[in-house]
Structures are given as C-alpha cells and as structure tokens.
Structure 1
Amino acid sequence: MTSSFKSSQDKNKGLTLRTLLRDATHHHHLQLNRHLLLAGLTQPNYPLSHYQTLLCTYYQLYALLEGRINLFLKGHLVAFNYSERSKLSWLIKDLDFFQIDILALHTLSQTATDFLKIETIGQLVGVLYVVEGSTLGGQMISQVLAKNYSFRHDAGSCFFIGYGEKTMTFWQQFIAFSDTLSGDKHECQAAVEAAGQTFQLFNQVLDDVVHQNYMTVS
C-alpha cells in the first residue's frame, strides 16, 4: 500500500469509497476540466473543429476503456450491468453525424493502451468512477451545445446528453454499487489508484492531441 493512500485512509477511516474517490481525485478532476480542449467547450467561440477533434479523441479513449470494462465483466460475476451504459455507441452516433470515418482515426499509442489494466473489482470501480462521472458534467455541456450549435441527441450531442433525465438515477446506482466495497481496504486502494490513473490517461491523451495538432484554444 502506498504511504499517501495509507495516511489518507487512516485519516478518513469509516468514510465511503465514494468520498475517498472524490477526495483523492479532486486535483486530477480539476486538471482535466481545465484542459485546453475542455475548458472552452461551454464558450460561444469554441471552434467546431476542436469539438470534432474532442469527439474523435473520446472515441479512442472509450473504445479502450469499454473494451477493458467489458472484458473484465465477461470473466467475472459482478452485480453491475454496463451493457445499457455504453458510451462508445453515443460517440459513434455523433461522429456519424459529422461524417467522420472512425476507421480512419489514428489508434492510441502503445503507451496509452498499456497504461491501464482492470484485473480486480476495485480497479473496475475506479475506472467506472471516471467514466460514469463524466455523464454528470455532460448535462451542462449538452445544454450549452444546444444553445450555441443547436446540437441535439440525434444531431451532434448524443455523448454529452448521455442518459439525459436518467443521469442521476444511473449515477446513484453506480455509487450504491461502488460503496459495497467501502469495507475492503485493498479494493478501496485499487479503486483510488485506478481512478487517478484513468484521469491521468485522459489528460495525457488530450495533451498528445493538442501537441500533435498545434492547437490554440481560447
């Protein structure tokens, strides 16, 4: 167990896994929200080309993440249904709207694909914390996209609309599932580390895209 996690766990003994995840990933979450490709997303002057680049990058990320999630769930008996939560299908719908060929997209680097593994239920929960949590912020973003671009569920904004009115219900169901691990310090450690790694993966891949395209986002 890492010393930083152990000291945090001792200090917050008795707290739910949700609270541990929130506190441990706060910095990573802020860093991602402030990323160049995301920070301007709710601004009226956000370039459409950057939005399309973001969708392409998210497609690559979610293809990797959901592949790992589904592989783990296929081989383990877990009381969590991800089949109705697939975000990759939402991204495919958005990219199809913009007539972007997903087969023509560059694949993620080997470093990125080797970076994250899901081998325990704790790691699964950590990854899902980031993946499912993204649907919360998507609600506000989708409203801005509708206002600035007239994007809708079937026209460019399926991913950010996500679960729509069912968002909080789906989030609460995930939290109830994650908190079943709250009494297992080893799985909690695995969840916290996996969540941090997932945020880092998002930031690193988005950084690579910005550098490769020499983007300037106001």
Structure 2
Amino acid sequence: MLSSMESDCEDAPVATLSLRDALRAATRAEHDDIENRMNLAREDYTREEYGQLLQRYHAFYEVFEAFLSERVRASSRVADFYYRDRRKVPWLESDLHALGLPRGSLRDAALADDLREQFADDARLLGALYVVEGSMLGGAVLAKQFKRRFELTAQSGLQFFTGYGADTKARWMDLQQLLSQYDDDARARSEAIEGARRMFQLFGQHLTAS
C-alpha cells in the first residue's frame, strides 16, 4: 500500500516531479504487475521454487552484467556506476552453490541483442538501474521471509536477497543522487522513464516464465 506522500507524488504532473518520483509514478502499473505475477510472499511458496527463482535471476543477470561490461568499455558513466560494486552475479553464484544447485544459464542471444538495442543510451540505462536497484529494497523485505521460512542465512543461500545489508539505504540514496542530476533534462527524463518500463518488461519475460 502506498503512503500518502507516495500517493501525492503519483497524483502530481510527472513533469513537476523529481526524476526519481517521476519514475515511480510512471511505472507503478508495471511494478505492481510483476510483483503480482511473481507472488513471492504467498504462504505456499516452496524451497524448490526459491531455487528456481535464483536460477532465473542468475541467467538474467549473467547476460545483463555482460552487457554492462560492454557499456563500461564504451565509457558509459551510468554502467560504470553499477558495475564498480553493485554486481549481482557473484551473490547468485554463491547462493546456488550453497543450495547445491547448478547455475541458471540463459546465454540468450535475443536478450543480449534487446539490451544493446534498448539501453545503448545512458538515460535509458538509468531507468533500467532504477528498476534493478529498486528491487534491492523489496529484496531486503523478502530476505526476512525466506530466512524464516527456509532457515537460510546470507552464507547459506540468501546472499542475493540480503543484498547490500545495512548499506541498502545508503546505496539507494547514491542512486537517487545520480538520478537528481537529470531532474532538469527533459529528454533524459523521458528516456529514463521509457528505459524503466522496458526493464520491467524484460524482468517479467525472464523471471516469471514457466
């Protein structure tokens, strides 16, 4: 449920909002759709499903972070912001190893091509990072659920959802600071919103597949 402040932000014209709030308002439907489709908080969610989810995440992030590596080599400031110390693949590999599961292997040429086509522009990529890093906030909540239900720790299969741990808020604030640098750039705002929507679509395609 949205707080009253969040609701007020969503009722305001998008052009008057900060880029962070504009992204949240413009992608609320996409956010709610993927959250409902994944339905990770349901009571009958199993450990087997949890392992399969980690494999899907690994398969996706393996391709996504390889793409970001390409963008870093092309001097993308936004890709470098993520790639320096926010990579998720090592966490996912640690979790899968701890659970005795093989890595998720997508090796999806179509996904790699989609990423190159859709996120070559840094403003678009900024929208994608908003989605990716925002999911870390929800992951911190889910970590408590999975820890209790499956008796996991960060060292025994819960590193990905534990994420940045005590640094989660600080890492999110760092992203907000980056977003704020584009508050007055109308083109970048529009592209970032489109990038966030497309990232939600890609997440939906690859994380909720049967």
TM-score by length of 1: 0.82
2:181 aligned partner, one-letter code? T
- Give the Cα separation in 1 of the matches to 2:14 and 2:47: 44
Could you tell me how far 1:11 is from its partner in structure 2? Answer: 3.8
- Give the Cα separation in 2 of the matches to 1:87 and 1:77: 19
Instruction: Tell me, yes or no, if the aligned pair for 2:14 and 2:26 is still in contact at 8 Å.
Output: no
Q: For each residue in 1:18-62, what CA deviation from the matched residue of structure 2 results, as whole angstroms up to 9, or x when unmatched?
A: 111111111110011111xx31x3344311111111100000111
- Per the alignment, residue 28 of structure 1 pairs with 30
- Per the alignment, residue 81 of structure 2 pairs with 81
Q: For each residue in 1:45-85, what CA deviation from the matched residue of structure 2 results, as whole angstroms up to 9, or x when unmatched?
A: 31111111110000011112222223212322527632211
- Per the alignment, residue 6 of structure 1 pairs with none
Instruction: Tell me, yes or no, if the aligned pair for 1:122 and 1:188 is still in contact at 8 Å.
Output: yes
1:139 aligns with 2:140: yes
1:120 aligns with 2:121: yes
Tell me, which stretches of 5 or more residues in structure 1 are unaligned? 1-9, 211-218
TM-score by length of 2: 0.85
Could you tell me how far 1:115 is from its partner in structure 2? Answer: 2.4
Structure 1 segment 56-75 matched on structure 2, within 5 A: 56-75=55-74
Q: For each residue in 1:167-217, what CA deviation from the matched residue of structure 2 results, as whole angstroms up to 9, or x when unmatched?
A: 000000011101101111111111111110110011112343x1xxxxxxx
Instruction: Tell me, yes or no, if the aligned pair for 1:69 and 1:124 is still in contact at 8 Å.
Output: no
Instruction: Tell me, yes or no, if the aligned pair for 2:76 and 2:122 is still in contact at 8 Å.
Output: no
Secondary structure in 2 matching 1:176: helix
- Give the Cα separation in 2 of the matches to 1:168 and 1:66: 22
The change in CA–CA distance for 1:23 and 1:44 in structure 2 (over 3 A counts) is same
Instruction: Tell me, yes or no, if the aligned pair for 2:58 and 2:89 is still in contact at 8 Å.
Output: yes
- Give the Cα separation in 1 of the matches to 2:13 and 2:59: 38
Could you tell me how far 1:15 is from its partner in structure 2? Answer: 1.8
Tell me, which stretches of 5 or more residues in structure 2 are unaligned? 1-11
Instruction: Tell me, yes or no, if the aligned pair for 1:112 and 1:205 is still in contact at 8 Å.
Output: no
Q: For each residue in 1:127-182, what CA deviation from the matched residue of structure 2 results, as whole angstroms up to 9, or x when unmatched?
A: 10011011100111000111111111111110000001110000000111011011
- Per the alignment, residue 45 of structure 2 pairs with 46
- Give the Cα separation in 2 of the matches to 1:22 and 1:134: 12
1:187 aligned partner, one-letter code? A
Instruction: Tell me, yes or no, if the aligned pair for 1:44 and 1:148 is still in contact at 8 Å.
Output: no
The change in CA–CA distance for 1:154 and 1:50 in structure 2 (over 3 A counts) is same
> Identity across aligned pairs (percent)?
28
The change in CA–CA distance for 1:59 and 1:77 in structure 2 (over 3 A counts) is closer
- Per the alignment, residue 176 of structure 2 pairs with 175
Please say which of residues 172-181 and 42-51 is displaced more in the overlay. 42-51
- Give the Cα separation in 1 of the matches to 2:81 and 2:185: 21
Could you tell me how far 1:108 is from its partner in structure 2? Answer: 5.2
- Per the alignment, residue 151 of structure 1 pairs with 152
